[in-house]
Structure 1
Amino acid sequence: MSIANNEQEILAQAIDWIADGHTVRLVTVVDTWGSSPRPPGSMAVVREDGVLVGSVSGGCIEKQLAESYSRLARDNPTEQAKTNGVITHHIDDEAARRFGLTCGGRLELLFETIQDSSTLNPILDGLSARKRMQRTVVIDSGEVDITSASSEIRFHYDGSVMTQVFGPAWRLLLIGAGQLSRYTAEFALALDYEVIVCEPRREFRDAWTVSGTELIDLSPDDAVLAHGLDAQCAVLALTHDPNQDDLALLEALPGDAFYVGALGSRKNNEKRSKRLMGLGLEASQLARLHGPVGLDIGSRTSAEIAISIIGDLIRVRAQRSVPEHSAQSQHA
């Protein structure tokens, strides 16, 4: 069993398995009650030999899902499609305690046997172009429709239809490749951000060692225009050099990035705001700036400041990503 970090990875794994001749089943959390550790919209994909990628319960029932599907595929392969649909799984109190939950819970899971990748490929194609894609499943018929997403709601389930919006990948554009950016990048990678680091200063570029990031040699304003303007992006100006940070902020604040932050004290932030307003930014645009960047947790070291920044990103991102639950749910 493997815990994939994002929806795109799970869908890509399903497509690869289908191409290799495997039969796969997509499992999606459509509703929860009690102390369920994974929210609606969480997914896993399991193939006929029991290999599973993803997570629908944080480990509580994944092994059971893999074993039951492997047994079904082995003993009654013609019956797989008949077991599609929504099934309720219970997490008893003993299992809950084993996985660090305060009490048991209940999950409603949608099972779909995927025969070919035609209902998945368009999603990955759209995500590659940084589009938001919507997958709608009619539960009774299994009919699937894929379109570009127009709603801000990321997940909805009403008992008969499931609608799920995918991506694009969350992206973090860091201006500056100093020590603070290094810690921030490492934490962001663990949270499944695509991390791009803009550093026009050669001496800092040469010292950058964080694998899994993209290091670009552009001026900060050009970097924002190229990589940081859509609503799945966060832009952090961390050089502490107004000549660099201000260029990034002038482009980022009028854009759609869900988070724009800059390093500096409150006094420096006031000076920065006056400079940016003098350069043409409006008060409403400046109001979007998180400065000083990060949560106020008394951080001092670079690692502590990075934690405060990541904490604030989590807070703001969570406010934008809460799924719409089933109206019929009675959550504990």
Structure 2
Amino acid sequence: MDNLDTQVLAAAQRWAAAGHRFALVTVARTWGSAPRPPGAWMALRDDGLVQGSVSGGCIEDDLIYRMRAGEFSGSGMQLVRYGVTQDEAHRFGLPCGGTLELVIEEAPDLGALAQMAERIAAGQLVQRRLLLSQGSVEIDGGRAGNALSWDGETLLTQHGPAWRLLLVGAGQISRFLASMAQALGYQVFICDPREEYASEWDVPGTTLLAGMPDDVVLELRLDPHSAVVALTHDPKLDDMMLLEALKSPAFYVGALGSAVNNAKRRERLREYFDLSQAELDRLHGPVGLPIGSRTPPEIAVSILAEMTAVKNAVNPRTVGMAMEADPYACRVG
């Protein structure tokens, strides 16, 4: 499953190959409430077709109208604002106080887009620099954690897999989880020393790593933009990996299993591996939000939902207090 950057780039390249003109629209800045964050972008074709989004739809409708009217048929860049007045915010369906500032590239650099697509397909982060007054674009290597920058003249945006996810276990849950995670901008790695599972792994866009999971964790040098999920149900594989992952700066470490099994796992980690209470408290287990998931795709959704909440600094457990009354509930496997 392609992420949003890949979808926009693929559409732009298809349209260019078919002889269509198109513009690129990027959210440079927002004030108050806004439907899409800075950095969100979309491709807008000369006949009104769109790929990606910069709002909930009303602003896209206006941009489509203006594109068809020939407003974006030049070769430069322009700055457009929506929601400056209360009447305009109401007209375009923006939340109270919402304002968007958009940079519109009327004739995007096709060479730069091809370079971006190639780098992202190779799993690389890309930094895109737009120079508004010059109407030029520069492509360079990106870096995880770099924030969008906009000073009214130069717009810097990051594209590609800004986050990393290591899945331990190449089973059915991992297949769904890997595909969904790629759509959310994760570079996905799989580790499973069990040949019966690893030999059948064939999810496109992921990287299968050889070796024991704890060694792989050390080799990847996990950072605050990394997540790890143990999915084997085998303490010999999961526990040793968790020992290293819980000591790392990874923003999320989870393990499959019921509340009872995870309590036993925590006790093993405390007794035999001398992990501190603070390190043990970082373990998300049972992994995932309690949404009643039973099937592999449902479990994958619950895991990604919890990962997203943690990444966005939202307490994911506030929605699942009712499940704590039943510690034997194996919410996700």
Q: TM-score, normalised by structure 1?
A: 0.71
Q: Encode CA deviations 1:215-247: one digit per residue, 9 max, x unaligned.
A: 959555276578895665422102221122135
Cα gap change, 1:19/1:268 in structure 2, threshold over 3 Å: closer, same or farther?
Answer: same
User: For residue 39 of structure 2, what is the aligned residue in structure 1?
Assistant: 41
User: For residue 317 of structure 1, what is the aligned residue in structure 2?
Assistant: 311
Q: Which amino acid aligns with 1:81?
A: S
Q: Structure 1: how far apart are the matches of 2:112 and 2:172?
A: 43
User: For residue 142 of structure 1, what is the aligned residue in structure 2?
Assistant: 135
8 Å CA contact 1:41, 1:164 repeated in 2: yes
Cα gap change, 1:146/1:187 in structure 2, threshold over 3 Å: closer, same or farther?
Answer: closer
Q: Structure 1: how far apart are the matches of 2:199 and 2:116?
A: 37
User: For residue 330 of structure 2, what is the aligned residue in structure 1?
Assistant: none
Q: Which amino acid aligns with 1:174?
A: L
RMSD: 4.1
State the number of aligned residues: 304
8 Å CA contact 1:220, 1:245 repeated in 2: no
Aligned-pair CA distance for 1:88: 0.8
8 Å CA contact 1:237, 1:262 repeated in 2: yes
**2:80 pairs with 87, 94, 99, which one?**
87
User: For residue 147 of structure 2, what is the aligned residue in structure 1?
Assistant: 154
User: For residue 66 of structure 1, what is the aligned residue in structure 2?
Assistant: 64
8 Å CA contact 1:127, 1:168 repeated in 2: yes
Aligned-pair CA distance for 1:161: 2.0
Q: Structure 2: how far apart are the matches of 1:52 and 1:194?
A: 26
Cα gap change, 1:300/1:180 in structure 2, threshold over 3 Å: closer, same or farther?
Answer: same
Cα gap change, 1:198/1:285 in structure 2, threshold over 3 Å: closer, same or farther?
Answer: farther
8 Å CA contact 2:165, 2:187 repeated in 1: yes
Cα gap change, 1:152/1:183 in structure 2, threshold over 3 Å: closer, same or farther?
Answer: closer
Structure 1 alignment gaps of length 5 or more: 321-332
User: For residue 328 of structure 1, what is the aligned residue in structure 2?
Assistant: none
SS across alignment from 2:312: helix
Instruction: Calculate percent identity across the aligned residue pairs.
Output: 37
User: For residue 264 of structure 2, what is the aligned residue in structure 1?
Assistant: 268
8 Å CA contact 1:293, 1:309 repeated in 2: no
Cα gap change, 1:115/1:204 in structure 2, threshold over 3 Å: closer, same or farther?
Answer: closer
8 Å CA contact 2:163, 2:185 repeated in 1: yes
Which stretch shows the higher mean deviation, 253-262 or 49-58?
253-262
| 1:243 correspondence with 2:241 | no
| 1:133 correspondence with 2:126 | yes
Which stretch shows the higher mean deviation, 14-23 or 296-305?
296-305
Q: Which amino acid aligns with 1:235?
A: V
Aligned-pair CA distance for 1:112: 0.9
Aligned-pair CA distance for 1:43: 0.1
8 Å CA contact 2:109, 2:137 repeated in 1: no
Q: Structure 1: how far apart are the matches of 2:272 and 2:111?
A: 48
SS across alignment from 1:58: coil
8 Å CA contact 2:25, 2:43 repeated in 1: yes
Q: Structure 2: how far apart are the matches of 1:307 and 1:187?
A: 8
Cα gap change, 1:182/1:228 in structure 2, threshold over 3 Å: closer, same or farther?
Answer: farther
Q: Structure 1: how far apart are the matches of 2:108 and 2:253?
A: 43
SS across alignment from 2:70: helix
User: For residue 124 of structure 1, what is the aligned residue in structure 2?
Assistant: 117
Q: Which amino acid aligns with 1:36?
A: A
Q: Structure 1: how far apart are the matches of 2:64 and 2:283?
A: 44
Aligned-pair CA distance for 1:65: 1.4
8 Å CA contact 1:88, 1:109 repeated in 2: yes
Equivalent residue runs for 1:4-19 within 5 Å = 5-19=3-17
Cα gap change, 1:23/1:287 in structure 2, threshold over 3 Å: closer, same or farther?
Answer: farther
Q: Structure 2: how far apart are the matches of 1:110 and 1:86?
A: 5
Q: Structure 2: how far apart are the matches of 1:217 and 1:125?
A: 22
8 Å CA contact 1:130, 1:169 repeated in 2: no
8 Å CA contact 1:134, 1:163 repeated in 2: yes
